[in-house]
Amino acid sequence: MQGDVILDCKGLSCPMPILKLAMAIKKLEVGKVLEMYGTDPGSKDDVPAWCGKTGNSLLEVVDTEDGFTFFIRREK
């Protein structure tokens, strides 16, 4: 899977990845996918929770050698 826009949040800890995600998703057109890189272990819980609250879709979470990659589609 590949996102339309990449957001690199590696090295950032809570709450910065979610704040940057919220700002980045607002700039995307509805239906586009944000590919977000992160290293904060809390993001594995925070990103799905944020998607549930905001109505955006978490399409996939991939564990990588140095963290995680999230694929989030803007729904509204």
Active site residues: 14
SS3 34: strand
C-alpha angle with apex 17: 13 to 20, nearest 5 degrees?
140
Q: For the CA atoms of the chain, what is the radius of gyration?
A: 11
